Amino acid sequence: MHVNFTEPEELLAEDSFYGWYLKGDEAAIAQWDSWIKQSPQNEALVNEAVVLLKELRMKEGSIPGAQVEAAYHKFKDNLPVAGNGRGRVAGLPVRRWGMIAAAVVILAVAGTGLMKYMGFFAPTAETKYGQIKEQRLPDGSEVTLNAHSKISYFSDWKDGKDREVWIKGEAFFHVQKTPQKSRFIVHTSRFDIVVTGTRFNVMNRDGITNVLLQEGSVTVHTKDGKDIYMKPGDFVSVNDNGPDKKPADAGAITAWKEKKMVFENTTLQEAARMIEAHYGVQVILADSIVAAKTINGIQSNDNLETLLAAIEAADDVKAERNGNTIIIKNH
C-alpha cells in the first residue's frame, strides 16, 4: 500500500481499515500491519485513528435507530454529483467525508456490526489486469468491466429513486428500464451520464474520460453545468478544454469486450498506453521514431505474449520483455 495519509480521518475513509481494526479481514490485517511497520509516523497515525474509533465505541447504543436511518438517507441525498464544484472538503473528496460521517453514526450504534453496514453502503465489483468480468446490478442492469476497472454502487435500489454507479476504469452498461423510469446515473471524474434504459461504453482512466452511446439516449452533465444530449453512434470525450462530441467507430471502441484490440493507424505510443492499461506492465519505446510508427489490424487480446508477437510482425519491431517491463525497438 503506497499511500501518504496525513490525518487519522483519512484512515476512517478506507474500508480496509475497518477490516484491520475489527480483525475480520486477513488481507486487510496484513496490508495495514505492513503499512504500520513502514515508519513511526504511520504507527502514530493509526494509533490516533484507533483512539477516535474507541471514543465512538463508548457511545455505542446511545443513538436511536431512527436517527441512523435518517443519517443514512441524508448521506445519500447529499452525495455530491461529480463536477458540481463541491468535490473536495479540506483536502478530501466530499463523498469520503460523507462516508466518514455515515461510518461514525453506524459505529456509534452498531459497534462490531460496522463491516456489514459498510458492505451495505457501497458494494463494489472490480477486475484485475488482463481480466474481463460481467456483473448484474440490483435492478437487473448488466455491466461488463474491462481490465483493471471498478464500479461502486448502493445495494438498496428502489424504483422511483435514482440508481447511481461510480466508475474507475472502463465498462459497458446495458441499463434496464424500470416501471417508474428511474434515472440511472454513472459518475466519472469529469461528468455524469444520465439515462433510463440504454447501452453505452464509459472510459474513466488515466485522465481519459469518454462515453460512446450504442443504443437509446443519454445526457452527459459536465462539471461546469453543460448538458450534452447524445444519440446512438455519438462519442463524447471531456478533458480540461471541455467536451467534444463526434461520431466514432463503435466496433473499435468496444472490441475489448470480445478480447480484441483494434489498431487503425495507431501509433506505437498509443498502443503502448493501451497495453499498459490492460496488462499493468510498463512499455518503453526505444526512441521517437519507434513511438511514431503506426500499426493496423485486429489483434487478439487475451494473451500478452501473443499480442506482442503480432505487433512485432505488423511493424517490423522487436519487443523484449523483462518481468513487467517491455522495451520496443527497431528490429
Render pLDDT for 121-180 as a digit per residue (tens, 0 to 9): 456 889 999 999 999 999 999 999 999 999 988 777 888 888 989 898 999 999 999 998
Q: Residue 190 has which C-alpha cell? A: 469529469
- Its sign, for the CA torsion 256, 152, 96, 110, is negative
Segment holding 209, helix H or strand E:
strand 208-215
Neighbouring C-beta atoms of residue 97, cutoff 10 Å? 18
DSSP assignment of 13-77? T-HHHHHHHTT--HHHHHHHHHHHHT-HHHHHHHHHHHHHHHHHHTTTT-S-HHHHHHHHHHHHH
| CA distance linking residue 234 with residue 214, whole number of Å | 8
Using CA atoms of 188, 251, 306, 125 in order, give the dihedral in degrees to the nearest 10: 30
Residue type, 106: I
Residue 79: closest CA among 154, 183, 176? 154
Q: Give the bridge partners for 82, in sequence order.
A: none
| HSE value, Cβ hemisphere, 13 Å, CA-based, for 158 | 4
**What is the model's pLDDT at position 2?**
57
Q: What burial class does residue 155 get, using C-beta atoms within 10 Å of its C-beta: 0-12 exposed, 13-18 middle, 19+ buried?
A: exposed
Domain annotation for the chain: domains and CATH numbers: 8-121 (no CATH), 124-253 (2.60.120.1440), 259-330 (3.55.50.30)
| HSE value, Cβ hemisphere, 13 Å, CA-based, for 250 | 12
- The answer to whether 301 and 274 have CB atoms below 8 angstroms apart is no
**What is the model's pLDDT at position 3?**
64
Contacts of 17 (CB under 8 A, 6+ apart): 11, 28, 32, 49
Contacts of 38 (CB under 8 A, 6+ apart): none
User: pLDDT below 50 — which residues of the chain?
Assistant: 57-76, 78-99, 102, 106-121
| CA distance linking residue 110 with residue 121, whole number of Å | 14
| CA distance linking residue 205 with residue 68, whole number of Å | 35
The residue written with cell numbers 513511438 in the block is 291
**What is the model's pLDDT at position 278?**
92
